[in-house]
Structures are given as C-alpha cells and as structure tokens.
C-alpha cells in the first residue's frame, strides 16, 4: 500500500518487512529516498527534506539519486529513457503531472506517478507484492511520432555502502544458471542478451550485497520479466553510489516508433530487499513467483516421461507405445512425445513449420497414441517449436517472407532453421490455427514449447520501422501463448529454449514450468540447480533422470539413486531409454517415483534452504512445508576416508521433536539445527532422501 505525504510529493510503499520511498522535488526531479527495512512516513519525509548536493560543472547533483534518469540535461549517468523526435531532437524534460494509487478494497496498491514532456506522458508504476516491488513504465504519445531509442523498466538505487558485491547467473548451452560473485568496481557492468530470446548466457537477474551469507545479511535483487533481448546495467558511479538499470532491448539503436495516440508498456523489472541472506532472498523470490507470477502454482506438477534422449528423431507410434507402457508401470503421470512427430521431421533438416502429424509415423494422427497414453492412466504431451521454420518445409516454400530477414543479405541458418517473424499478424494467425487445431484434434494435456536458435537477421523488409521486431516478436509470442491458454485452460505449457535459454519472469507468467538445461548429467545439474534456485522455485524447475552412462554429454556413469535424488530437487521427470533398462532398474525407479510423489508437495511448495552448495564434496537442499521437512543430500566424492559432515538443518522449531521417516528415530529440533543430521553417505556419487515430520503433542 502506498502512503502519500500531505503535499502529494513523497510516497512510501511498504511490504511485510521492507519499505521503499521516493519524492518529487520542487523542480520536479524524481529522487529516490529509501529501499530497505520498514520506515515510517515521517522517516520518508525527513529523508525528503535533506537537500540534494549543489551542482557544479563536473558532477551532477542528480546522478545516482534519480528514480528514472531520462536523457538530457544535467546528468551523466546512463539514461533509462531516450527519445528522439522525428525532426531529430533528443532527450526528455518533464514536469510532474500528478499521481494515483489503487489502494482500497479491490486495489492492489499500485502507485502511478505521471510526468509530461509536451505530448509525451511518462507514467512510472510501482506495485508491492509482499516485499517484491514490481516496477514498469508506460509511455503514451499524443503528439507526432517519436522514436523510442531506449525505455528501461526501472532504475534501482542502492544505499550508500562500501564494497558492494555482485552476484549473477551465467552460462551457455548445457551449462546454464551458474552462480558467480565478484566485487563491484567503478564503472558499468552490463549483462544481457542480443539474441532475441532471454539467452542461456545470463538469467535476467542480479543480486548485490556487501557481507551477506547464505542465511544472514542484506541482499538486494532485481529480476526482469522479459523473454527477448534485454540489458541490465549495474553502475558504480564516481562517488561510489550504485544504480541498476534494466529493460527490454539490447542497445540504444531503437525499440520502436511511437505513433500518435500509441502507448508502449515496458516489461516489469522487479526488485527485492531482504535481510535474510541469499537464502532468505531466494525464499522471498520463490514465494513471490508461486503467489503472483506462475499460473496455478498451487497445483503440483506431475512426474513426466520425455522421449528425446531415448529416441532422438527416430520415433514411431509403436516405439512410443512401448516407452509409454514402461513409463506407466514406473508411476509416470505425463508422457511427452518430443521432436520428430510432425511433417517431414525425421532429422533437424526438415519439417519445422508443418505442424501436422507425420503420416508414416502416426498414420491415424496423434489421437490413437494420446488415447492409449490416457488409457494407461497418464496425461499426454507434445513438443513444438512454433517460432521456427526449416527452409525444407511446406510452410517456408509457401511463405519465404514470413521469416526474419534483411533484404539482400544471407539468411543465417542455425540447426538448419530460420526464425519466423511473430510480429506479423498473418504469422501469428497461422500458428494460432495450427496449434489450436492440434490441441483440439487430439487430447493433449501438455505442450513443451521450444526455441532452438538465437535471432540473427532481425529484419522486416515491408515494415517502416523493422527495429520493432525485437520487441514485437516477443509480444507476439506472449499474445499467442495467452490466446492458447485462454482457449485451452487445461493444457500446461513448458518453456524450453535448447534447455534453459528462455527462463524469466515474463515467460513464467504464462507457462507452468521450464526446461532447466539440456544437460541431464546429475552432477552438473547440482550446480545448475543451485544457480537456478537463487531466483526461481523448484515448482517450475524440470529435471529428468536419464541413462547412465550419460549419452547426451559426457558418458558419466552414475548410480540410479544419485540420478533420482539430484532430479527430485525440482519437477521430476524421466528421460532415459526405458526399453534398455533392466527389471531391477525399473523396479528401483518405481520406488523413487513413489517416494517423489510423497515428498512432492514439500519440494514444489515448500521453503527451500540450501544447506551446502555443490562445490564441496557434499551438497544438500532442504524443503520445509508445515510440519514436513525433506532433505536431499548428494555426496560427489568422499576423500581420505574422512567422515561425511553432518547436515545442520534450518527452518525448524528448536523446541519441537522431529521423527525421521527413514529410520523411525526422533530428534530434537535444537539438535538438528545445532549439531546436524548424519546422512550415512559414503564413497562416490551417493545420495539420500531424508523425511522428517514434526511431532505434535497429540502424536
């Protein structure tokens, strides 16, 4: 809820643990006052009364203090907003035009601050979601067209501290979401994507702290909700002030032309302050996503089987039926046919774009297999990659101009495919018809939506401002997903992009889970999942148990137990070639799946405590939901015969007693917290699941 000062120029937003305050000066400068622990309106006004420093020729009084630095005037920081009129004038000089709050019974507490520069209205939006602040900006133009060179979602200002440290998640294909921390130095640190999708290289998230540990200390985090190119810039200014500016688009070359009466809405750039260390910050992000972002997050995700690693492109109805029978026996709840079921798609060279079942492989279409899968008691899912086309496809032969391309230039192919232009109405309409037809023609419960290459030639020959393709393709994708979800409310969607190439708060607001990485090696996955969990909850993190030796990546041999426990930290799936699994393996897998179903509510909806990071020999995560606690521990390698350390648990009541479901033993919370739990792990690649239940006096 927003509290407003009497003169209507100072605002205070507060969540359960934090506050955020800002102020418009008598010169209509919008300055940041506070982001941190809860303060009172009087505190905010006291901060507002502090004068800004004097201007002098080499430093700006505004730099490092403004909520949304526009281009031009007495500023030297990176502008969040950069506008050019058609006659070439750049910059913004705004006047404050009032505020609105949506408090009260039905309001969600959104605060809107309106500024005007001639015919252009800039509205800054703020919405508290518990302790996460969602910020975004609306630009409305009533005058002649203007070019939006840059319109970031927000600039976040950190308090004055020494020695800031930056956490980020970096990666590449099959190695996504790896956490790194480094001291912040003077200048700008820019991360982003110039690829047209979120990218494997960084999740759009940063965290800043000075001395936080996993469970203690202040952490500031910012996460962008956008699935196209993006940029987040962390700047340490000459006076050591730190600001974080982020939004859609990868450079200043232009977002779009804003015509008369047109509106542009930026994506949300969300911010969180926590004093619970990195773990506390993650738990707050997870709760935020489960409550406000991910659709139906209180509905647990089923255990799935996916055929990709088992069959590659070599699929047939008969083989899928064989896999389905084994999956069903194992307790799998959702059977997904991956790539290769449609058009002439017998390899990655042809067929993308032609979304009708391959008549040789599925003579009766998908319905017979879907019915068979349903008959086995499982849901049925399919893989699609709607934004792409192989040049060797009926779609491309009919519409070579539907792809993104620059006239007179080579069309860059990756994996023998080109990217369709979803900013075009006719392309979206075609895809809508194909996908709606598919979902109506066979009982499909789940769609894995892939995006298997970056955009390169983002041209649009017939459009007067082709630059808008970078944003409008993403909006086209969102519109298509929204329309499909509305028409088929029972169908779940997974966001995939060659693994984790499209994971962000934007896509998560319209999908049910994401494919975390094409790397299904259970050891590598511990690191990927550790990074992923900094921001996103287990409820959306798909993880498969695949074959040993690992066929996809590294040939590593690992016990089934280790593969299962590693994958049980998220939404469990199985992706091995079950036709080659022996009876013993299948029977063991059945037990693991049954165990996962039991702990699933705690994993998918509980609070996550990262007990030990994956760098050491022993790593462990703990989930707590109500009276239930689950610990998943993985030992990579035991050295020198040394005893494996006990796991000091967290989030328990020291006064309560806990019964271990595995051993039947009872432990006092205080001892589990202080002395820890012995896991009995030993050797290499050992793993265990421990379930604890808090005993109530009547138990």
- Assigned token pair, 292: 């406000």
Q: Which is nearer to ligand GLA, 126 or 493 (CB)?
A: 493
Q: Do 204 and 223 form a contact (C-beta atoms < 8 A)?
A: yes
Q: Nearest approach, Cβ of 414 to ligand GLA (angstroms)? A: 12
Q: Is 351 in the site for ligand GLA (CB under 6 A)?
A: no
Distances (CA, A) of 241 to 64, 389, 488, 491: 6, 47, 49, 47
Q: Which is nearer to ligand GLA, 96 or 383 (CB)?
A: 383
Q: Cβ neighbours of residue 319 under 8 Å, at least 6 residues apart?
A: 311, 579
Question: Nearest to ligand GLA by Cβ — which residue?
Answer: 339
Q: Is 308 in the site for ligand GLA (CB under 6 A)?
A: yes
Q: Cβ neighbours of residue 519 under 8 Å, at least 6 residues apart?
A: 174, 175, 176, 499, 525, 528, 552, 553
Q: Which of 134, 209, 333, 339 binds ligand GLA (CB under 6 A)?
A: 339
Q: Do 546 and 623 form a contact (C-beta atoms < 8 A)?
A: no
Q: Cβ neighbours of residue 374 under 8 Å, at least 6 residues apart?
A: 380, 443
In this structure, what DSSP letter does residue 698 have?
T
Strand 334-337 relative to strand 304-306, pairing:
parallel
Q: Which is nearer to ligand GLA, 254 or 498 (CB)?
A: 498
Q: Nearest approach, Cβ of 501 to ligand GLA (angstroms)? A: 8
Q: What share of the chain is helix, strand, coil (3-state, %, to 5)?
A: 25, 35, 45
Q: Which is nearer to ligand GLA, 66 or 338 (CB)?
A: 338
Q: Nearest approach, Cβ of 305 to ligand GLA (angstroms)? A: 13
Q: Nearest approach, Cβ of 312 to ligand GLA (angstroms)? A: 8
Q: Nearest approach, Cβ of 452 to ligand GLA (angstroms)? A: 5
Q: Nearest approach, Cβ of 317 to ligand GLA (angstroms)? A: 18
Q: Which is nearer to ligand GLA, 79 or 573 (CB)?
A: 573
Helices (H) and strands (E) in the chain, counts: 13, 37
Alpha-carbon gap, residue 376 to 397, rounded angstroms: 40
Q: Which of 637, 594, 607, 603 is nearest to 619 (CA)?
A: 637
Q: Which of 11, 335, 383, 402 binds ligand GLA (CB under 6 A)?
A: 383
Q: Cβ neighbours of residue 241 under 8 Å, at least 6 residues apart?
A: 63, 64, 65, 157, 158, 160
Q: Nearest approach, Cβ of 517 to ligand GLA (angstroms)? A: 8
Q: Which is nearer to ligand GLA, 553 or 688 (CB)?
A: 553
Q: Per CB under 6 A, which of residues 394..433 are in contact with ligand GLA?
A: none
Q: Do 698 and 657 form a contact (C-beta atoms < 8 A)?
A: no
Q: Nearest approach, Cβ of 200 to ligand GLA (angstroms)? A: 10
Q: Is 353 in the site for ligand GLA (CB under 6 A)?
A: no
Q: Cβ neighbours of residue 573 under 8 Å, at least 6 residues apart?
A: 303, 304, 305, 306, 542, 543, 544, 545, 567
Residue 605: CA count within 13 A, CB half-sphere: 17
Q: Do 560 and 533 form a contact (C-beta atoms < 8 A)?
A: no
Q: Which of 93, 62, 56 is nearest to 75 (CA)?
A: 62
Q: Provide the phi-psi class of 254: left if phi over 0, else alpha when psi is between -120 and 50, else beta.
A: left
Active site residues: 450, 518
Burial degree of 322 (CB within 10 A; 0-12, 13-18, 19+): middle
Q: Per CB under 6 A, which of residues 189..228 are in contact with ligand GLA?
A: none
In this structure, what DSSP letter does residue 634 have?
E
Q: Which of 335, 184, 153 is nearest to 249 (CA)?
A: 153
Q: Which is nearer to ligand GLA, 14 or 511 (CB)?
A: 511
Sheet holding 657-660, edge to edge: 607-612, 618-625, 628-637, 684-695, 657-660, 666-668
Q: Nearest approach, Cβ of 605 to ligand GLA (angstroms)? A: 26
Q: Provide the phi-psi class of 190: left if phi over 0, else alpha when psi is between -120 and 50, else beta.
A: beta
Q: Nearest approach, Cβ of 450 to ligand GLA (angstroms)? A: 5
What x-and-dash track marks residues 611-630 binding ligand GLA by CB under 6 A? --------------------
Q: Which is nearer to ligand GLA, 495 or 527 (CB)?
A: 495
Q: Nearest approach, Cβ of 496 to ligand GLA (angstroms)? A: 5
Total residues at interface with ligand GLA (CB under 6 A): 11
Q: Which is nearer to ligand GLA, 447 or 630 (CB)?
A: 447
Q: Which is nearer to ligand GLA, 356 or 416 (CB)?
A: 416
Q: Per CB under 6 A, which of residues 434..493 are in contact with ligand GLA?
A: 450, 452
Q: Is the peptide bond before 549 cis (omega within 30 degrees of 0)?
A: yes
Mapped onto helix, strand or coil, the DSSP state of residue 112 is strand
Q: Is 338 in the site for ligand GLA (CB under 6 A)?
A: yes
Q: Is 334 in the site for ligand GLA (CB under 6 A)?
A: no
Concatenating the DSSP letter of every residue in 239-273 gives TS-EEEEEEESSSSS-SEEE-TTEEEEPPPEEEEE
Q: Which is nearer to ligand GLA, 519 or 679 (CB)?
A: 519
Q: Do 505 and 270 form a contact (C-beta atoms < 8 A)?
A: yes
Q: Which of 122, 66, 113 is nearest to 94 (CA)?
A: 122
Distances (CA, A) of 98 to 101, 121, 539, 661: 11, 11, 41, 59
Q: Per CB under 6 A, which of residues 126..185 are in contact with ligand GLA?
A: none
Q: Per CB under 6 A, which of residues 492..531 are in contact with ligand GLA?
A: 496, 498-499, 515, 518
In this structure, what DSSP letter does residue 289 have?
I
Q: Which is nearer to ligand GLA, 507 or 624 (CB)?
A: 507
Q: Which is nearer to ligand GLA, 193 or 622 (CB)?
A: 193
What x-and-dash track marks residues 566-585 binding ligand GLA by CB under 6 A? --------------------
Q: Which residues bind ligand GLA (CB under 6 A)?
A: 308, 338-339, 383, 450, 452, 496, 498-499, 515, 518
């Amino acid at each position: 809820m927003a509290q407003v000062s009497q003169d209507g120029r100072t605002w205070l937003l507060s969540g359960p643990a934090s506050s955020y305050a800002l102020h418009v000066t008598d010169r209509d400068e919008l300055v940041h006052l506070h982001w941190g622990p809860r303060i009172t309106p009087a505190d905010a006004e006291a901060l507002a009364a502090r004068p800004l420093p004097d201007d002098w020729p080499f430093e700006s009084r505004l730099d490092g203090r403004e909520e949304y630095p526009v281009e031009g005037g007495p500023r030297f920081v990176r502008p969040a907003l950069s506008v050019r009129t058609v006659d070439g004038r750049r910059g913004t000089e705004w006047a404050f035009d009032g505020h609105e709050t949506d408090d009260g019974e039905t309001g969600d507490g959104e605060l809107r601050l309106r500024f005007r520069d001639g015919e252009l209205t800039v509205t800054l939006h703020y919405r508290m979601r518990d302790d996460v602040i969602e910020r975004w900006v609306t630009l409305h133009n009533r005058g002649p067209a203007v070019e939006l060179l840059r319109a970031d979602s927000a600039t976040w200002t950190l308090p004055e501290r020494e020695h800031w440290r930056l956490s980020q998640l970096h990666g590449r294909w099959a190695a996504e979401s790896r956490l790194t921390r480094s001291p912040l130095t003077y200048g700008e640190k820019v991360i982003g994507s110039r690829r047209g999708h979120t990218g494997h290289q960084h999740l759009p998230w940063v965290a800043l702290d000075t001395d936080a540990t996993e469970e203690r200390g202040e952490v500031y985090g910012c996460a962008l909700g956008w699935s196209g190119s993006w940029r987040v810039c962390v700047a340490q200014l000459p006076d050591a002030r730190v600001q974080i500016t982020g939004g859609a688009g990868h450079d200043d070359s232009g977002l779009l032309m804003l015509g008369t009466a047109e509106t542009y809405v930026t994506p949300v750039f969300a911010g969180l302050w926590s004093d619970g260390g990195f773990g506390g910050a993650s738990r707050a992000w997870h709760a935020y996503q489960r409550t406000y972002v991910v659709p139906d997050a209180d509905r647990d995700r089923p255990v799935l089987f996916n055929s990709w690693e088992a069959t590659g492109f070599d699929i047939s109805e008969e083989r899928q039926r064989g896999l389905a029978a084994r999956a069903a026996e194992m307790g799998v709840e959702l059977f997904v046919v991956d790539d290769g079921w449609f058009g002439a798609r017998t390899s990655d060279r042809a067929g993308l774009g032609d979304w009708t079942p391959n008549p040789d492989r599925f003579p009766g279409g998908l319905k017979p297999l879907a019915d068979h899968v349903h008959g086995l008691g499982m849901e049925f899912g399919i893989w699609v990659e709607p934004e792409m086309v192989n040049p060797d496809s009926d779609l491309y032969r009919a519409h070579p101009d539907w792809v993104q391309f620059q006239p007179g230039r080579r069309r860059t192919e990756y994996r023998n495919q080109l990217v369709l232009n979803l900013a075009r109405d006719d392309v979206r309409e075609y895809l809508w018809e194909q996908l709606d037809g598919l979902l109506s023609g066979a009982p499909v419960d789940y769609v894995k939506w892939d995006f298997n290459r970056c955009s390169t030639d983002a041209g649009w020959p017939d459009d007067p401002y082709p630059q808008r393709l970078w944003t409008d393709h993403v909006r086209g994708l969102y519109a298509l997903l929204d329309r499909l979800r509305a028409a088929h409310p029972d169908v779940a969607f997974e966001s995939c992009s060659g693994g984790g190439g499209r994971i962000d708060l934007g896509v998560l607001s319209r999908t049910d889970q994401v494919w975390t990485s094409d790397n299904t090696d259970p050891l590598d996955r511990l690191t990927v999942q550790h990074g992923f969990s900094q921001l996103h909850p287990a409820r959306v993190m798909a993880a498969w148990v695949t074959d040993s030796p690992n066929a996809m990546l590294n040939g590593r041999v690992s016990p089934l137990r280790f593969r299962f426990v590693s994958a049980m930290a998220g939404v469990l799936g199985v992706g091995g070639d079950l036709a080659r699994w022996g009876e013993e393996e299948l029977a063991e897998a059945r037990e693991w799946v049954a165990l996962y179903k039991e702990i699933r509510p705690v994993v998918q909806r509980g609070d996550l405590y990262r007990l030990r990071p994956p760098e050491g020999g022993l790593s462990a995560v703990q989930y707590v939901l109500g009276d239930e606690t689950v610990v998943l521990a993985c030992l990579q390698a035991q050295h020198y015969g040394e005893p494996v350390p006990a796991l000091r648990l967290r989030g328990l009541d020291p006064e309560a007693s806990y019964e271990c479901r595995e051993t039947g033993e009872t432990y006092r919370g205080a001892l589990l917290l202080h002395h820890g739990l012995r896991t009995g792990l030993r050797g290499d690649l050992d793993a265990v699941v421990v379930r604890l239940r808090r005993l109530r006096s009547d138990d």
